[in-house]
Amino acid sequence: MKVLLAILVLVALVFWNRSKKRYPPGPKHLPLLGNLLDIPRCHAYKKFTKYSKELDSDIIYVDAAGQPIIVLSSLKACNDLLSKRSNIYSDRFHQTMSFELVDCKRLFAFQPYNDEWREARRLVVKYFTGPGKTPINNCITEFVRKALLPNLLNTPDDFFTHIRNGIGGSIVSLVYGLPTQREKDPWIALADEALACMTSTCVPGKYAVDIFPFLKHIPEWFPEAQFQKEARVGREIVARYIHEPFEASKRGMAEGTTQPSFVTRCLESLAGADEQKELLIENVSSTFAAGGTDTSVTAVKNFFAVLLLFPDIQEKAQAEVDSVIGSGRLPELSDKPNMPYLRAVLKELLRWNPVAPAGLPHMTTEDDSYKGYFIPKGSIVFGNTWAIMHDESVFPEPFNFDPTRFLTPEGQLKADMDILDPETDATFGFGRRICPGIDFGLASFWLSAACILACFNIAPELDEMGTPIPPKFEYLGKEIIAHPEPFKCRITPRSKETIALIRAGYDENSRYI
């Protein structure tokens, strides 16, 4: 009885103390549970956007059973806090399910803001954004031409798989120097499994154990402990994904069969045996190999959806591509500045359907205040990319797909970009946690789109009567990345010359790229 009374007194003191603070506006909440029951497991960013509009505030407060959640729904608020105050807004929330039970703490994207994270990021920035970007661009070009395009030509119905193999193969090569199979590559399959575990287990509000960490101690056989089985399976997959390709790269390096890569360059720079450094390289490799392609793969899948939904945009973009490259070659990354309409289409796609609508959550390491509101230490802070990209005051009629938002009346990209630019603002994160693979992602996205337009026509499927079947698209919203569910379309080469270009330099007898 005394223990219960003490708990009630403690809870009362906590709520009394909070009542003295001026928190950001938020939905009404219940005692103890707060808004826990109001946070949906799918598409939470849309619910947060709704709260923001109803409360007329770009900063809202949600209480998840005592855990403060701050949602920022404007680019200004995100920049003011996540960028300009990044010294106290760059930590990660310790999610028991993903961080501990699935062991995602080894991946630097999930790591807390500390010296180990800083060293990991320095490694990535040095290799992927430094002077050595030419090999990276060459690798992207090679995989688009030798994997993505030939596979789309040979087996177009499997285009989802081909997108993943083409873009995923390039990152496996860049990171590990390993050859990948054109179809059903085991490294890419393992990465897909691990990605599914990582992104699904870090969705806020999905698991009770993240709100009540003591639940991690209950056994798997206990009623309602299904999360323990998910954690065990996920932990095994993530461990394999982190370790196996890294060890394969090391073996290939010793045997002289591995191509120069992030791993080989990092290991060669070590002065003698250094287990701690080697572990860091292993962890960083898996992080970039997983996250470096996921946004690009999803964006290219979304590009197919846009071509299906808006055939007039496909036709206009194809005309621009043709005018730049003619009929005797394929697009190259150097063509990008000469294709303003295609660049506007891709910017609009990233705005219209953000690949990471809420991104990975930040966490505050100190108490703070903003616009007169109190933001407590330990708050989960989201930059609501979905809300930012669908702000009517910035993008009129935001649910319309309109590439001309980013073009001048003369058809050129707006030089000063007087409106938000989806390629550089919000899409890849904020502040010190911004994705270091942004250049790779945008390059692979643009080249894939340009080559698809140059080589293929994308159209809806036909029924038995030859009538086009209206395409349907579904986004379940169960993960951090908004993956589209598989859909169907007709992919046909534009000409015999196109077929010849795709087949040039393609070795049909080789299983590898």
User: From CA 261, how far away is CA 272, in angstroms rounded?
Assistant: 19
Of 286, 201, 192, give the one whose Cα is nearest residue 248. Answer: 286
| Beta strands at 456-459 and 490-493: parallel, antiparallel or unpaired | antiparallel
Tokens of 204: 């806020």
Cβ burial of 376 (10 Å; 0-12, 13-18, 19+) is middle
**Residue 426 to residue 270: CA distance in whole angstroms:** 36
Which residue is listed with tokens 């007169």?
A: 372
Q: Which two tokens stand for residue 227?
A: 């999360």
From the list 431, 357, 422, the residue with the least C-alpha distance to 92 is 431
CB atoms within 10 A of CB 132: 12
Residue of 442, 360, 425 whose CA lies nearest to 389: 425
Cα separation values, 490 from 34, 475, 495, Å? 49, 21, 15
Angle, CA of 468, 469 and 474, to the nearest 5°: 140
Check: CB of residue 396 under 8 Å from CB of residue 46.
no
Side chain identity at residue 334, one-letter code: S
CA distance 126 to 142: 23
b vs e for 160-196, b when ≥16 Cβ sit within 10 Å of the residue's Cβ? bbbbbbbbbbbbbbbbbbbbbbbeebebbebbbbbbb
Kind of pairing between the strands at 67-72 and 380-383: parallel
Helix (H) or strand (E) holding 169, with range, is helix 159-176
Structure tokens at 336: 């990008």
435 a known binding residue? Answer: yes
**H/E/C letters for each residue in 342-365?**
HHHHHHHHHHHCCCCCCCCCEECC
Which H/E stretch holds residue 70? strand 67-72
In angstroms, the CA 183 to CA 333 distance is 25
- How far is it, in rounded angstroms, from Cα 454 to Cα 460? 18
Query: In this structure, what is the dihedral angle of CA atoms 439, 440, 441, 447, given to the nearest 10 degrees?
Result: 100
Distance CA 50, CA 54 (A): 6
Q: Which residues are annotated as a binding site for heme?
A: 435
Q: Which residues are annotated as a binding site?
A: 435
